[in-house]
Protein backbone atom coordinates (compact mmCIF):
# COMPACT_ATOMS: atom_id res chain seq x y z
CA UNK A 1 0.00 0.00 0.00
CA UNK A 2 1.38 3.39 -1.02
CA UNK A 3 1.57 6.19 1.56
CA UNK A 4 2.08 9.94 1.09
CA UNK A 5 5.62 9.42 2.42
CA UNK A 6 6.22 6.94 -0.43
CA UNK A 7 5.00 9.52 -2.96
CA UNK A 8 7.32 12.15 -1.42
CA UNK A 9 10.31 9.82 -1.75
CA UNK A 10 9.33 8.92 -5.32
CA UNK A 11 8.91 12.55 -6.41
CA UNK A 12 11.86 14.13 -4.59
CA UNK A 13 14.22 11.43 -3.35
CA UNK A 14 13.76 12.89 0.15
CA UNK A 15 12.23 11.28 3.22
CA UNK A 16 11.22 14.60 4.82
CA UNK A 17 9.95 17.93 3.55
CA UNK A 18 12.74 20.55 3.72
CA UNK A 19 12.28 23.28 6.35
CA UNK A 20 12.10 25.92 3.60
CA UNK A 21 9.71 23.86 1.48
CA UNK A 22 10.24 22.94 -2.15
CA UNK A 23 11.53 25.26 -4.85
CA UNK A 24 10.15 24.69 -7.40
CA UNK A 25 6.80 23.42 -6.14
CA UNK A 26 6.15 19.76 -7.01
CA UNK A 27 3.93 19.18 -10.05
CA UNK A 28 1.76 16.30 -11.18
CA UNK A 29 1.30 15.67 -14.91
CA UNK A 30 -1.25 13.25 -16.35
CA UNK A 31 -0.36 11.55 -19.64
CA UNK A 32 -3.64 10.45 -21.25
CA UNK A 33 -2.21 8.65 -24.28
CA UNK A 34 1.18 7.39 -23.09
CA UNK A 35 1.53 3.85 -24.38
CA UNK A 36 5.32 3.66 -23.93
CA UNK A 37 4.99 2.67 -20.28
CA UNK A 38 2.23 2.30 -17.75
CA UNK A 39 4.57 3.02 -14.83
CA UNK A 40 4.68 6.41 -13.11
CA UNK A 41 7.80 8.49 -13.77
CA UNK A 42 9.45 11.06 -11.54
CA UNK A 43 12.06 13.73 -12.12
CA UNK A 44 13.64 14.54 -8.77
CA UNK A 45 15.36 17.66 -10.16
CA UNK A 46 12.23 19.37 -11.47
CA UNK A 47 9.99 17.72 -8.82
CA UNK A 48 7.51 16.37 -11.35
CA UNK A 49 5.55 13.14 -11.39
CA UNK A 50 4.12 11.84 -14.66
CA UNK A 51 1.10 9.57 -14.28
CA UNK A 52 0.01 7.58 -17.35
CA UNK A 53 -3.73 7.19 -17.84
CA UNK A 54 -5.77 4.73 -19.84
CA UNK A 55 -5.59 1.67 -17.60
CA UNK A 56 -8.48 0.13 -15.73
CA UNK A 57 -8.41 0.83 -11.99
CA UNK A 58 -6.89 -2.50 -10.90
CA UNK A 59 -4.05 -2.29 -13.45
CA UNK A 60 -3.48 1.39 -12.60
CA UNK A 61 -3.26 0.57 -8.89
CA UNK A 62 -0.84 -2.29 -9.54
CA UNK A 63 1.44 -0.10 -11.68
CA UNK A 64 1.42 2.72 -9.09
CA UNK A 65 2.22 0.30 -6.25
CA UNK A 66 5.07 -1.23 -8.26
CA UNK A 67 6.53 2.07 -9.50
CA UNK A 68 6.17 4.20 -6.40
CA UNK A 69 6.63 1.40 -3.88
CA UNK A 70 10.18 0.69 -5.00
CA UNK A 71 11.31 4.32 -4.87
CA UNK A 72 12.82 4.15 -1.38
CA UNK A 73 15.72 2.11 -2.77
CA UNK A 74 16.46 4.85 -5.33
CA UNK A 75 20.17 5.56 -5.42
CA UNK A 76 21.17 2.61 -3.23
CA UNK A 77 23.68 0.08 -4.48
Q: Is 45 a catalytic residue?
A: yes
Q: Which position among 45, 56, 57, 58 bears the catalytic label?
A: 45
Q: How far is residue 72 from each of residues 39, 50, 53, measured CA to CA in Å?
A: 16, 18, 24
Catalytic residue numbers, as ranges: 45
Amino acid sequence: RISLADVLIFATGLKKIPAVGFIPQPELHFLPNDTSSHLPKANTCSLTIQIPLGLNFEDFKEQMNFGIGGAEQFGEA
